[in-house]
Amino acid sequence: MDASGAYERFRHWAATLLAHQQAGSEVYQFSTIGALLDGVYDGDITVAEILRHGDFGLGTFNHLDGEMVVLDGVCYRVRADGTATRADPTDRTPFAAVTRFHADFEFDIAEPTGRAAVADAIDRRIASANLIYAIRITGRFRELHTRTVLAQQEPYPPLTQATEGQAETVFTDATGTLVGFRTPEFEQGISVAGYHLHFLDAERTGGGHVLDFDLEHGRVAVSGAAELHLSLPTSGAFLDARLSGADIAERIDQAEGPGADRPPEP
Ligand SMILES: [Zn+2]
């Protein structure tokens, strides 16, 4: 064969591969974290619809009644007592983000490693802090702190008040999976900038929104995305919500956990 023919075949192979990767590289998100902060806790989108857009992700449920974990195409609801059950396809959510998980790369963590060091290990390997990455960490956790918001009643308080009554759960020597995203700083207010992770244990019966963890050993898988499909509510409290403001990063930190989750300022 001549060299130019081989090159053309390589180009075709590379283009096909890229197209294939890009087809799976979308994050679909319903509503914004800013809307949750402002007390928009009811959405009209169902779990069934969310699952049409992805097999992996996180979110919450109407009335803020539990934390959502989507793993391997199944949507789970973790309630305030830390117990997880399969969500009903007709359950509705005011905020969720999902993707079709495809591991662009994976690596093992063999030694006990805290949350910040795990985040550093991922940050060192990603191509850019300006793209979105779905993060899956399966392993054994020496300790893992989660919170689960309590179901809210109307009139809804802002998220910073709603999370004051959150139930915290400590898992020790737990096996399971962290499910979430690393989101660019510029998306703060649309999503949670930095790492936002939810936990689901191996039995699929417990979990929550992750505040802190100490990984004993595990495997990290990272699935990159360059497309954000943002679907906005067209009715209800969203239409009149206050969705920005200089204090939004501060309010997100207050509601979603310590700022150590956030990537270092450049
Ligand atoms: Zn969360």
Domain residue extents for the chain? 24-256
Question: Measured in angstroms, how far is the CA atom of residue 119 from the centroid of ligand 1?
Answer: 16
pLDDT of residue 222: 98
CA 112, CA 13: separation in Å to the nearest integer? Answer: 40
Token pair listed for 143: 């300790």
Instruction: Name the percent of the chain in helix, strand, coil, to the closest 5.
Output: 30, 40, 30
**83, 43, 34: which is closest to 64 by C-alpha?**
43
Question: Measured in angstroms, how far is the CA atom of residue 208 from the centroid of ligand 1?
Answer: 8
pLDDT tens across the length of the chain (266 residues): 556 677 777 777 666 555 555 545 899 999 999 999 999 999 999 999 999 999 999 999 999 999 999 999 999 999 988 999 999 999 999 999 999 999 999 999 999 999 999 999 999 999 999 999 999 999 999 999 999 989 999 999 999 999 988 899 999 999 999 999 999 999 999 999 999 999 999 999 999 999 999 999 999 999 999 999 999 999 999 999 988 777 888 889 889 886 444 443 33
Question: Measured in angstroms, how far is the CA atom of residue 11 from the centroid of ligand 1?
Answer: 41
CA 215, CA 210: separation in Å to the nearest integer? Answer: 12
Question: Measured in angstroms, how far is the CA atom of residue 236 from the centroid of ligand 1?
Answer: 22
CA 140, CA 201: separation in Å to the nearest integer? Answer: 10
Integer CA distances (angstroms), 47 to 10, 70, 101, 162, 170, in order: 41, 10, 17, 23, 27
Question: Measured in angstroms, how far is the CA atom of residue 196 from the centroid of ligand 1?
Answer: 6
Question: Measured in angstroms, how far is the CA atom of residue 80 from the centroid of ligand 1?
Answer: 13
Question: Measured in angstroms, how far is the CA atom of residue 148 from the centroid of ligand 1?
Answer: 8
Question: Measured in angstroms, how far is the CA atom of residue 68 from the centroid of ligand 1?
Answer: 8
CA 103, CA 219: separation in Å to the nearest integer? Answer: 11
Token pair listed for 95: 């905020």
Predicted TM-score of the model (pTM): 0.89
Question: Measured in angstroms, how far is the CA atom of residue 195 from the centroid of ligand 1?
Answer: 10
Question: Measured in angstroms, how far is the CA atom of residue 51 from the centroid of ligand 1?
Answer: 18
Question: Measured in angstroms, how far is the CA atom of residue 202 from the centroid of ligand 1?
Answer: 19
Question: Measured in angstroms, how far is the CA atom of residue 198 from the centroid of ligand 1?
Answer: 6
Topology classification of domain 24-256? 60s Ribosomal Protein L30; Chain: A; (3.30.1330)
Question: Measured in angstroms, how far is the CA atom of residue 211 from the centroid of ligand 1?
Answer: 9
Question: Measured in angstroms, how far is the CA atom of residue 199 from the centroid of ligand 1?
Answer: 9
CA 55, CA 133: separation in Å to the nearest integer? Answer: 14
Show the beta-strand stretches assigned E in the chain: 26-30, 45-46, 56-60, 67-71, 74-78, 84-86, 92-93, 96-99, 105-109, 113-114, 132-148, 167-183, 194-201, 207-225, 227-231
Question: Measured in angstroms, how far is the CA atom of residue 69 from the centroid of ligand 1?
Answer: 9
* Burial label, 206 (beta-carbon count in 10 A; 0-12, 13-18, 19+): buried
DSSP string, 85-115: EEPPTT-EES-EEEE----SEEEEE-S-EEH
- 72: number of Cβ within 10 Å: 12
